[in-house]
């Protein structure tokens, strides 16, 4: 598998991702999507929104502000509980995140450990600064929220925070959304947006950043409703590779094949939690992630977030190790109860079934979208030795450019431009007349273009399939509908036209 440094180089070279502020040497933890990256990322976003919001009757969307009232983060618990333990070298002042450092050096899960526990582990194992080999100071807590100022007065009351998660905007708007949209439990509110965390040590390219996008939804359920009517027998048969708490407590990483039904029998989670977890998994598979590269890791009690009673991560097998791309937490009534307490507002809903006011409980599926973007690039990347170039085998619906148009020679330019103009209003398309046709095919392969249209002197045009390199001949008048069907997987390539 391509290492992360080479993947970063590929992304920069092909216009998927650039270092932010590159002309000034970059800025750690920040990246910009290039022309191809922004198209691919928008396609992933569209797929997510369609799957989890637009295709469901029980979901609505929201786009809350990045900066909210400072009390938001006091109520949510983030001012007290949203931090990492920081190890600082006594001599060179090198700073490392304690949980990452312990995992790297001792291969232990250190999330959720108290400062005293970390100090004891560091002393017992005689761990020292990775830079100068000196000893560390006693561990400090480091809050991940970015502070900012609002307004012209430089006083403490004007301190605000860039959001560390999108969830709080959903919780604060929960009652208004429910009332204006006339929603009845159960229902979900979804959001896709930027978040900010002042990471101690951003690393592994897009995987750990200080500014990133999260897609998540809060699914609100009556607190007494335990049965999920959507949890079918077919969903219970879905098989996952699971790393459970019992295995982790033994210091092992052995994966066990379990079905959703097995997780329920073992009382690892409730029915609604299980159903929404399965929905996450189904979307991952639908967009092209190989199930063999996915594992479900159960959080141990010591690493649970302050708001969660049960959490699972979906980890992807990256070259730097298997790590989280999504999670799903049982947040219970914690957030709504906290906002009721701090705002003094009534956020309970009238439940028509019981004719009572209730504060719903919440299941929260969360997706790290840049991490999923990176995982999809790894799934798609293939160094084709026979062709002599990279082939990026993204699903057509996720490809940044859907169609490329090539005139065979310069004399075909006028006809090719006419065809390109007929395509670009419906498909993200590119026009390329530079170099040999073979070289243009190679460029399109490296950009992930699924279909290339070559225009020559004959009647009709040739469509080339990126993955197989097979070609079919299509009448010019049929080109748009044929490409539409191909991109929506409504026909196979073999049936798209006359085989060449």
Distance in angstroms (rounded) separating the CA atoms of residues 248 and 297: 9
- CA 407 and chain centroid, separation: 38
Distance in angstroms (rounded) separating the CA atoms of residues 234 and 177: 32
Distance in angstroms (rounded) separating the CA atoms of residues 256 and 259: 10
The pTM score is: 0.91
Q: Is 448 helix (H, G, I), strand (E, B) or coil?
A: coil
Closest of 389, 416, 408, 391 to residue 476, by C-alpha: 416
- According to DSSP, residue 222 is labeled -
Distance in angstroms (rounded) separating the CA atoms of residues 463 and 471: 6
Kindly report the number of other CB atoms within 10 A of residue 82's CB atom.
18
pLDDT tens for the chain, 500 residues: list them. Answer: 899 999 999 999 999 999 999 999 999 999 999 999 999 999 999 999 999 999 999 999 999 999 999 999 999 989 887 777 888 899 998 888 888 888 888 888 777 677 888 889 999 999 999 999 999 998 877 888 999 988 877 665 678 999 999 999 999 999 999 999 999 999 999 999 999 999 988 999 999 999 999 999 999 999 999 999 999 999 999 999 999 999 999 989 999 999 999 999 999 999 999 999 999 999 999 999 999 999 999 999 888 877 788 999 999 999 999 999 999 999 999 999 999 999 999 999 999 888 999 999 999 999 999 999 999 999 999 999 999 999 999 999 999 999 999 999 989 999 999 999 999 999 999 999 999 999 999 999 999 999 999 999 999 999 999 999 999 999 999 999 999 999 999 999 999 999 98
Containing H/E element for 46? helix 35-49
Buried-state track 66-78, b at ≥16 Cβ within 10 A, e below 16: eebbbebbebbeb
Distance in angstroms (rounded) separating the CA atoms of residues 129 and 232: 52
- Cα end-to-end distance, the chain, whole Å: 34
Q: Strand runs (DSSP E) across 197-252, as ranges?
A: 211-221, 239-243
């Amino acid at each position: 598998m391509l290492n992360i440094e080479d993947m970063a180089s590929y992304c920069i070279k092909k216009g998927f991702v650039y270092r932010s502020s590159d002309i000034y040497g970059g800025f750690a933890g920040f990246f910009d999507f290039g022309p191809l990256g922004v198209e691919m990322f928008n396609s992933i976003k569209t797929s997510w929104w369609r799957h989890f919001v637009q295709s469901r009757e029980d979901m609505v969307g929201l786009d809350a502000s990045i900066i909210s009232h400072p009390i938001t983060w006091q109520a949510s618990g983030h001012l007290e509980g949203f931090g990492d333990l920081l190890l600082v070298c006594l001599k060179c002042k090198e700073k490392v995140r304690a949980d990452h450092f312990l995992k790297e050096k001792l291969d232990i899960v250190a999330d959720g450990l108290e400062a005293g526990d970390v100090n004891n582990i560091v002393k017992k194992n005689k761990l020292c600064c990775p830079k100068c080999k000196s000893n560390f100071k006693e561990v400090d807590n480091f809050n991940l929220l970015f502070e900012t100022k609002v307004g012209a007065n430089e006083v403490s009351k004007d301190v605000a925070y860039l959001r560390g998660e999108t969830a709080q905007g959903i919780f604060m708007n929960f009652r208004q959304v429910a009332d204006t949209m006339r929603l009845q439990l159960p229902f979900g509110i979804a959001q896709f947006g930027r978040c900010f965390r002042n990471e101690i040590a951003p690393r592994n390219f897009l995987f750990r950043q200080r500014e990133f996008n999260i897609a998540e939804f809060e699914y609100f359920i009556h607190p007494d409703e335990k049965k999920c009517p959507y949890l079918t027998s077919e969903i219970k048969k879905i098989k996952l590779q699971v790393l459970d708490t019992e295995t982790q407590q033994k210091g092992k990483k052995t994966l066990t094949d379990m079905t959703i039904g097995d997780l329920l029998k073992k009382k690892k989670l409730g029915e609604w939690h299980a159903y929404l977890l399965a929905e996450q998994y189904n979307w991952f598979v639908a967009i092209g992630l190989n199930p063999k590269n996915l594992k479900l890791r159960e959080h141990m009690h010591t690493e649970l977030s302050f708001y969660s009673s049960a959490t699972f991560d979906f980890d992807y097998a990256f070259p730097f190790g298997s790590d989280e791309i999504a999670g799903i937490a049982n947040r219970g009534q914690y957030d709504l109860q906290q906002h009721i307490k701090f705002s003094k507002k009534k956020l309970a809903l009238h439940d028509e079934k019981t004719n009572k006011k209730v504060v719903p409980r919440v299941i929260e599926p969360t997706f790290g979208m840049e991490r999923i973007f990176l995982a999809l690039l790894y799934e798609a990347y293939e160094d084709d030795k026979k062709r002599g170039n990279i082939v990026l085998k993204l699903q057509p619906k996720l490809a940044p450019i859907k169609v490329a148009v090539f005139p065979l020679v310069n004399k075909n330019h006028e006809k090719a431009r006419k065809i390109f103009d007929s395509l670009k209003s419906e498909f993200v398309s590119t026009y390329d007349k530079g170099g040999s046709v073979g070289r243009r095919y190679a460029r399109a392969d490296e950009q992930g273009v699924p279909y290339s249209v070559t225009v020559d002197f004959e009647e009709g045009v040739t469509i080339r399939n990126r993955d197989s390199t097979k070609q079919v001949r299509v009448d010019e008048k049929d080109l748009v509908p044929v490409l539409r069907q191909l991109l929506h997987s409504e026909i196979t390539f073999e049936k798209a036209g006359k085989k060449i």
